[in-house]
Structure 1
């Protein structure tokens, strides 16, 4: 009670908002609300329970109102939409979100509150450390889906989280609201972790127990559809791994292969290696396009290394580089044409001419790509 009086005196009436996204959860909603309310009362917190309803038609809203929980109607469909609506309506400094299927224990949220009070921006539950009860998680999710997607997320973003998709987590409202989360479906959980990591927020984990949910109907989660949406999101938010690294690999592999094949008669292999360089270059350009677009739209944070790079790689240097490649390609083409003329424009020995023609054509292609990519990058940068 003392803490609650102090908060009221300081003008912060609500410290903790407990949000539950809801779509036809009448079977378990009452249990979840009562546990959350017990936790608030038992720990003498200034708190509230919010039900972010996503269009339930089974009486869930009535149950919530009867128990004096706040009901926030969110017409836009989707797990992420429901949570965004609840977060926007929350009045607490700290928010704890969790599923309303009774798979998480809302009466034991002290570890989250303590970490938040200690200054952390995002406190993730970890079901693999806290325990997964028998029947609580399908075999495919437990041993394939969650570990693989979490591993990919840690690799792509160097995230400290070891359970990307835990539905029970706490965070500072101000911190997460500043991320301007966009996704509306199940991948909302991944977006929160990824953006918090990219923005270098303070993130930690606490052990969380997962119990079998209390519903008689199947869960809303679709294993393959939602798994793909999570994977797709992780890839799209990492231009470095999706585009840059594969592009650099193709450029280097193609260049090394080209240099080794030039003195040999294997001209057909030379064509493949040169094509690899061309494709790799375009993929690297996609990485830059995506990165700048993401930063401009607020999807990705500023990148200091990229800003330093563009002090030297601007439109003018791109045009000069492109023109140099065009001159090299044109020179090689003229030289090859001269050899053809010396043979009275008749049949040629491929082993003699193709090591000149193929690099020449490659330089022409790379030159044109460099010039027009430089213009496009400059257009993207006009806003900046």
Structure 2
């Protein structure tokens, strides 16, 4: 089968009101640009005759039994005959005649070219204020912060890419978060990503859109968090650990006054608890990184691999054993003070300044020992 230059792909679920307009516009864009291509509709189970409309206008239709925006697009990408794929919703909100803005970027070597509605035009009534001023900017900022992706409009539905490069990413999500997965995985794979300005017009349908603001916004954010163990686990874990450790060191010698407040062993209890929580979250971070790399969710990280050459099972066991011994040492000193008092009553405040750190050392030591075994188990396949 001869490969075409471009496939214009539209996911479709009951889009009879606007599909004819979109297919006609896409066909005209291919013709006016002199590009050898096709219009492909990935139908997600329409019951309003969308399939017949698309076929009647010369488009190709692929049936996708698995429901979901991502499922429809992934099936369409797999069925596409073009070297490049340009995708957009079939709701008349995107302009397929912007094809000349995307194709030169792909031919120049870019792997993924995103439309940017904020640097282009957002027509009146095209985007709800909540999406325009909160949802999209916040999620786009999180994506740039977590992954360093040079994209300012993470959720623009008009984008173009190299088909073979996209198939090589192993995209998995079937819902609206597919839009984020595509960008994140392309970035992690070191693909060339760029943006071009585009226009968003009001949805041409009379019914409500498939997008659900809070549900799908959360699914996008959840995906970004799960694909960044550093921001989900490691950074918070390290911050909590060191904050707890600093406060604990400050309170260990004696109570401290801050204005009219006195901070004593009660505060010390919580600060040492923060040390434990931070350490536990940090172990989650390393475990998630190892698991994600092994399962192919995350790319190999040379710096992380080099770290494992020094932090081995044996190093973790020794470190954990030293912490347990430190706990016994502090406990031994506390028992010694109790013996000097004839095993009678002691100052509760004074003893808590010993028993709390001792218990913390015990728990951190056990965490280090069994955490090292668990990480070693995860790393068996890697090694």
TM range (shorter): over 0.9
The match for 1:114 among 104, 108, 129 is 104
- Note if contact 1:239-1:287 (Cα within 8 Å) is conserved in structure 2: yes
What secondary structure sits across from 2:34 in the alignment? coil
Structure 1 stretches of 4+ moved >4 Å: none
What secondary structure sits across from 1:27 in the alignment? coil
User: What aligned pairs does 1:232-381 form with structure 2 within 5 A after superposition?
Assistant: 232-265=222-255, 266-381=264-379
TM norm structure 2: 0.96
User: What aligned pairs does 1:81-120 form with structure 2 within 5 A after superposition?
Assistant: 81-120=71-110
Q: Which moved further from structure 2: 119-128 or 33-42?
A: 33-42
Shift, 1:338, TM fit: 2.1
Task: Compare the two structures and name the one with the higher strand fraction.
Answer: 2
Number of residue equivalences: 374
1:194 aligns with 2:184: yes
Shift, 1:126, TM fit: 0.1
Shift, 1:270, TM fit: 1.4
Shift, 1:351, TM fit: 3.0
| CA distance in 2: counterparts of 1:166 and 1:295, whole angstroms | 28
| CA distance in 2: counterparts of 1:166 and 1:86, whole angstroms | 18
Shift, 1:258, TM fit: 1.3
- Note if contact 2:244-2:275 (Cα within 8 Å) is conserved in structure 1: yes
1:149 aligns with 2:139: yes
| CA distance in 2: counterparts of 1:352 and 1:217, whole angstroms | 69
| CA distance in 1: counterparts of 2:90 and 2:336, whole angstroms | 77
- Note if contact 1:22-1:53 (Cα within 8 Å) is conserved in structure 2: yes
- Note if contact 1:267-1:350 (Cα within 8 Å) is conserved in structure 2: no
| CA distance in 2: counterparts of 1:148 and 1:238, whole angstroms | 16
Superimposed CA distance per residue, residues 118-170 of structure 1 (whole angstroms, 9 cap, x where no aligned partner): 00000000000111000101111111111111111111111100000000000
Shift, 1:357, TM fit: 1.1
Superimposed CA distance per residue, residues 195-248 of structure 1 (whole angstroms, 9 cap, x where no aligned partner): 111221100000010001210101000011111111111111111111111111
What secondary structure sits across from 2:373 in the alignment? helix
User: What aligned pairs does 1:114-193 form with structure 2 within 5 A after superposition?
Assistant: 114-193=104-183
1:42 counterpart residue number: 32
Shift, 1:12, TM fit: 5.1
Gap regions ≥5 residues in structure 1: 1-10
| CA distance in 2: counterparts of 1:45 and 1:269, whole angstroms | 69
| CA distance in 1: counterparts of 2:171 and 2:343, whole angstroms | 63
What secondary structure sits across from 1:141 in the alignment? helix
| CA distance in 2: counterparts of 1:17 and 1:324, whole angstroms | 62
Shift, 1:177, TM fit: 1.0
Gap regions ≥5 residues in structure 2: 256-263
| CA distance in 2: counterparts of 1:208 and 1:56, whole angstroms | 28
CA RMSD in angstroms comes to 1.1
| CA distance in 1: counterparts of 2:341 and 2:8, whole angstroms | 83
